[in-house]
A and B are shown apart, each in its own frame.
Chain A
Amino acid sequence: MGRYIGYPARVTLFRKVLIANRGEIAVRVVRALRELGIASVAAYSDADRGSLAVRLADEAAHVGPSPSAESYLRIDRMIDAAKRHGAEAIHPGYGFLSENADFAEACTAAGIVFIGPPADAIRKLGSKTAARQLAIAAGAPVVPGTERALSGWEEARAAAHSLGYPVLLKASAGGGGKGMRRVNGDSELQSTFRDAASEAGRAFGNSEVYIEKLVEEPRHIEIQILGDRHGHLIHLGERECSIQRRHQKVIEECPSPLMSTHPDLRQRMGEAALKVARAAGYANAGTVEFLVDRDANFYFLEVNTRLQVEHPVTELVTGLDLVEWQLKIAAGERLTLQQDDVTWRGSAIECRIYAEDPDRDFMPAPGSIVHLSEPAGPGVRLDSGIFEGWNVPLEYDPLLAKLAAWGPTRESAIRRLDRALSEYVLTGVRQNIAFFREVLADAEFRNGRLSTSFLDRFFQRRKKTEAGPEMEAAAALVLALESQGSGSPLLTNVSRWLESGREDLLR
């Protein structure tokens, strides 16, 4: 009878949507679109012609050469591709053009719906300093400090006394840690102030320095927000993302282990996040990031005006589909959920599977996937953008997949995630699967004692997992038989082995 098997008739949000992204997030969006009966168009660069997203999507549009500046970052080509394919809306994913207000505006000007917040909200929250001012005005806590440059070290001392040591001196024009110095007490202040100012001057041509209270060993906890275009905003609770390397998250979880000892923290952080979002006129999905100190005081950091990489843990615990809501909200539908409708059930933890070498400072390790066997089973969710034979391009972030596990308690989620990691075989590139198993087994991690310096400390006590003699014997067996030539189990190519077996039978 109907064309949509198993799909209930409903008002279609969009007929066709272009995905202006790549990798696992493009696959995630293709899946959401198909579930809603919406046709998908995967934008792709030269390097991504054979990608999983292109294979799974209904249509695909070439947007340029491999370097992202010539493809995934090209506003004109994305708009052009959407028009060519007749897409009514564009989902930007994360990264690339997702937080680009000009792109959001260009979409609107071309009569295409941008699936994200209004351009104006992106602009207001785009600059860290502007967002901080907005947060202060909205009444959200920020890391205490001077809002302007200090005239000299005497003024710095007065400010440090009112804030309390330790403090952080930061370059006004700053970035990348240049001109940033920790100060523990008065005795260090004068010389450190001089060093910070001179380093800032050399790096930025501006030696102005300001001061902030230093949050020691902070946790990184963020609040997921969701709002419609009719002024209704709610929060979906927190994600703890303290396990980071090079200031990039690698393990995320919901709820934060801190919530068990501070039961009112979620509500207080959620309200603070909503104050900032309301002040910016926010709509669609977004994330408000906070630092949380040892005493569970939280401080506004910034707003990510897009879908977050780690959104699956919120989906697993709340049972909501964030991408589906993004689409509905972008189509102008009302957010029918009230704050009290949102409940958090159990615990979910995600780890980001990267092509990188944990033993060599997480250096990216692109290459071809030789063997892939993916985990499954109860409580496991895998958002992956790879397949056997896929060549991980050099040009982009080496995120391969996100593996998440849900369990009724944090302990059970950890056990499930470890079990899933143990099933995961991914060779051809170096990856961090075995490393995650070491982290999950760590007592500090299990006890939920997390901070952004967790991994630095972990490396000091890490005992690398090595294969035992029995595993060595198994590998030696395979290689020895292979070296013998005939009847060798060529694991790189099972079909070749089967072929040689058939040939043997025919002899």
Chain B
Amino acid sequence: MKRHVIVNGRSGTIEIEGSRLRYAREDGVVIESEFSLEGTSVLLNGRSSRIAKGAGKEIWVNGLLLSMEVFDPRDLRPGQGATSSHGRQEVAASMPGKVIRVLVALGDAVEEGQGLVVVEAMKMQNEMKSPKAGRVAEVRARPDATVGAGEVLVVVE
């Protein structure tokens, strides 16, 4: 199994095979280890951590709160936020990630399928495209900002 991870705004991957895991962060840090999981206890290379779920998606490790999202790379489909082709349309991030570039400005005329915002997750850059021809009514995405899945980036009308 392979999953993408975003922790405190930084990307990584986790691969799990039997009782082995490989966690690789975009900054090059890699943890490869045998693991054992029992209730709230995780052993990695024999080192013990306590995991507890908090409110909503919060996860705490050894008393520290991590902002973490784990998702399946197969779920990365661009343009998921668009639902119909007329009226006011919100273009939302399809997965959590980081805004790399904002390609349009407020008031710009855009074509259907034109790129609006580039979002990166797991070193994969994903262009959020306009669902229709129209005008940019709102730009909510800011370069370098961390965004969650479903977060509105641009509104086109």
Contacts and interface: CB of A to CB of B under 8 A. Distances in A.
B125 interface: no
Contacts of A370: 52-55
Contacts of A427: 52-55, 58, 60, 65
Given A425-B63, A427-B58, A476 B3 contact: yes
Given A465-B64, A466-B64, A467-B61, A489 B37 contact: yes
B122 interface: no
Nearest to B40: A491
Contacts of B39: 489, 491, 494, 497
A481 B37 contact: yes
B93 to A, nearest CB: 18
Contacts, number: 136
Interface in A381-429: 421-422, 424-425, 427-429
A486 to B, nearest CB: 12
Which secondary structure dominates chain A's binding surface? helix
Given A477-B16, A484-B1, A489-B37, A470 B68 contact: no
Size bracket, chain B contacts: 35 or more
Interface centre among A367, A479, A484 (most CB of B within 10 A): A479
A474 B25 contact: no
Contact of A480 (B8, B14, B64): B14
Interface string A349-387: 000000000000000000110110100000000000000
B67 to A, nearest CB: 10
Most chain B CB inside 10 Å of its own CB: which residue of A427, A437, A477, A497: A477
A473 B50 contact: no
Contacts of B12: 472, 476
Nearest to A433: B63
B70 interface: yes
A393 to B, nearest CB: 16
Interface in A481-507: 481-484, 489, 491-492, 494, 497
Contacts of B54: 370-371, 427-428
A471 B40 contact: no
A465 B7 CA distance: 15
Interface stretch (B27-35, B101-109, B143-151): B27-35
A471 B60 CA distance: 9
A475 B59 contact: yes
Do most interface residues of chain B lie in helix, strand or loop, or is the interface mixed?
strand
A506 B29 CA distance: 42
Nearest to B3: A480
B51 interface: yes
B72 A483 contact: yes
B53 A491 contact: yes
A137 interface: no
B68 A472 contact: yes
Contacts of B3: 476, 479-480, 483
Interface string B1-12: 101010110001
Contacts of A472: 5, 7, 12, 23, 25, 31, 61, 66, 68
B44 interface: yes
B62 interface: yes
A476 B71 CA distance: 10
A476 B53 contact: no
Contact of A475 (B29, B47, B63, B66): B66
B29 A469 contact: yes
A110 interface: no
B85 interface: no
- Find the residue from A368, A465, A469 having the highest chain B CB count within 10 A: A469
B21 interface: yes
Contacts of A473: 14, 21, 23, 31, 33, 44
A476 B63 contact: no
Interface of B: 1, 3, 5, 7-8, 12, 14, 16, 21, 23, 25, 29, 31, 33, 35, 37, 39-40, 42, 44-45, 47, 49-55, 58-66, 68-72
4 tightest A-B CB contacts, nearest first:
A427-B54, A473-B23, A479-B70, A371-B52
Interface of A: 367-368, 370-371, 373, 421-422, 424-425, 427-430, 433-434, 437, 465-467, 469-484, 489, 491-492, 494, 497
